[in-house]
Amino acid sequence: MEPQMSEKSFRKQFIGKSVEELDTPVIVADLDALEANLSLLSGYFSGRHCKVRPHFKSHKCVTMARRQLACPNTVGITCAKISEAEVLVAGGIEDVLLANQLIGRNKVRRLARLNKQARVRGVVDSRQGVDRLGTAARDEGVTIGVLVEVDIGMNRCGVLPGGPALELAELVVRTGGLRFDGLQGYEGHLVTTENYEERCRLVAEALAPLIETRKAIENAGLTVSIVSSGGTGTYDITGNIEGVDEVQCGSYALMDAQYSKVRPEFRNARYVLATVISTRGEKAVADVGLKGMGAEYAAPVVEGHPEAEVLYVAEEHTVIESLAAAPGDRIRLIPPHGCTTNNLYERMWLVRRDIIEDIWPIEGRGCLE
């Protein structure tokens, strides 16, 4: 399967063939489902103020990022790592938000250099972050757009809303080489709240201090061009709150078993194609484990077999109960966590009605630093 040949002949060997011909495990995405998901989300924002900035973390494919950007109401791409931003810019993406704290001296320099080719904004939540970004920007002769991250209850990164956020915004404004562009506040602790009414209530509560902070900063005479927030679980809540300009949805494109529980309107477009290698009674063992599937939140789901129950996922094996199968049978496992699953593969196979239509490199795979 590994291409000892050119990419072109590699593609030629597989395009038009059945996905069932591939050695397993492989990660596969169904184009009909993917396209339906892309148009559902981008269509939702037609006629609304808020726009979409899809998160790269969920697929890590530059080709997918380009497809997302080609959708209406899409303003740029979000990513989490400087190495991901580099991959995106190398792939021709011109507007990127690096939605994570950058503090390493070399990393801020890399961000500054990237700004010579594209608009790559960063986020900050400390004086040190502001100082280092500013120094790198001045050294490289660029201006870096910066969002101040506000902690809106996730208890991860971010300054507290109100005074601390205003202070940091004013520091950004005073720092040469930086341009204060606005705020980021991510309600990640709420995106999978199962009860929708409760999710709406909690999100409104969490976002209120972010919007108040926006107003306080504007009242102090600063321009807030962007408030960036939200994910797949909250796009239709956060995306309708006045004062939010963009949502950073990622999972909606391919989905996963965990997210499907709260977002049934998006289709599961991604699965890991696996082969049953051993059976005993109604116990079946598949040839993929943690090396090929992000299984940290819950158990994978066996597509088309609601009776099947995954007992456990080991390094190389997934052990399934109540599945009548024979060695050699193929099964499709919907990973509980899609983002970490894509991180494990070099390429994703794109199919329509099980026929391979395209092969996308996962350039952002393993972008750790």
Judged by the rule CB under 6 A, the positions of this chain that interact with ligand PLP are 55, 57-58, 99, 186, 188, 191, 231-233, 248-251
Q: State the nearest-atom distance from the C-beta of 80 to ligand PLP, in Å.
A: 7
Give DSSP secondary structure letters for 214-281.
HHHHHHTT----EEEE--GGGHHHHTTSTT--EE---GGGT--HHHHTT-TTS---EEEEEEEEEEET
* Closer by beta carbon to ligand PLP, 150 or else 171: 150
Q: Produce one character per residue of 341-355: b if its CB has 16 or more CB atoms within 10 Å, e if not.
A: bbbbbebbbbbeeee
**In the bound complex, what is the minimum distance in angstroms from residue 145's beta carbon to ligand PLP?**
17
Q: Of 248 and 268, which CB lies nearer to ligand PLP in the complex structure?
A: 248
Work out whether strand 355-361 and strand 301-302 pair parallel, antiparallel, or are unpaired.
Answer: unpaired
Least spacing, CB of residue 333 vs ligand PLP, in Å: 19
Nearest to 305 by CA among 290, 328, 325: 325
Q: Give me the least distance between CB of 253 and ligand PLP, in Å please.
A: 9
DSSP character at residue 19: G
Residue 97 CA to residue 300 CA, distance in Å, equals 31
Q: How far is CA 37 from CA 29, 34, 42, 67, 239, in A?
A: 12, 5, 9, 12, 17
> Rounded to an integer, what distance in angstroms lies between the CA atom of residue 262 and that of residue 158?
26
Residue 210 or residue 331: which is nearer to ligand PLP going by CB? Answer: 210
Question: Which residue number, 99 or 130, has a Cβ lying nearer to ligand PLP?
Answer: 99
> For residues 161 and 177, which CB has a smaller minimum distance to ligand PLP in the complex?
161
CB of 206 to ligand PLP, least distance (A): 14
Q: How far is the CB of 40 from ligand PLP (least distance, A)?
A: 13
Residue 190 or residue 323: which is nearer to ligand PLP going by CB?
190
Q: How far apart are CA 246 and CA 54, in angstroms?
A: 9
Q: Return the residue nearest ligand PLP (CB atom).
A: 231
